[in-house]
Amino acid sequence: MTAVRRARPEDAAEVLRLRQVMIDSLLPDRGAGDLHAAWHTDWHADSLPVLTARLAEPDGDFGAFVVDHPERPGALAALVAGTVEYRIGRAGNPEGRVGHVFSVATDPQTRRRGYARACMESLLAWFRERGVPQVDLNASAAAEPLYASLGFVRKPDPSMRLTFPAP
């Protein structure tokens, strides 16, 4: 059985590293000479203190579950993170609690060992403990079989996004 644990403040740098693994896997291959390679982790320094503080809130609305790397002490092999969000209630969810999974990543050296599944199962149990009746996520094509095996179904998504320019 895979040992999954709640991420702690001292895991913050590793959580950011695995989040970057996930982000990089979603971006098209841009080649070694691309400017993207030079700046794509600049945000880590600004994010680290905020993430560290959030990981120190055991009863908050943010949950991150990890598996320690079996060959590298202090490193993480897998990460799953999500939040409990409030939305105005509706039929089937009158209290408006919705779980959102937004970061699932496995270190490339430790893939295909069931770590992401074990972390997802822990996060889903955390959502259930908080009375969350629905959990949403965005799935890559490669990850969709894992989520489907856990009971997730694809839905038509009319999502749109507005991004404000940096100040």
Tens of pLDDT, residue by residue over 58-117, are 889 999 999 999 999 999 999 999 999 999 999 989 999 999 999 999 999 999 999 999
Domain ranges of the chain: 5-149
Q: Look-up: residue for tokens 């979603």?
A: 26
Q: What is the pLDDT of residue 31?
A: 52
pTM beyond cutoff 0.85: yes
pLDDT in tens, 112-162: 999 999 999 999 999 999 999 999 998 888 899 999 999 999 888 777 767
Compute the Cα dihedral for 67, 122, 98, 52 and give only its sign.
negative
Kindly give the residue spans of alpha helices, DSSP state H, lying in 4-131: 12-26, 36-39, 43-55, 115-129
Contact 117, 111 (CB under 8 A): no
Class of the CATH-defined domain 5-149: alpha beta
Task: Report CA 24 to chain centroid distance, whole Å.
Answer: 14
Answer whether residue 38 shows pLDDT above 50.
no
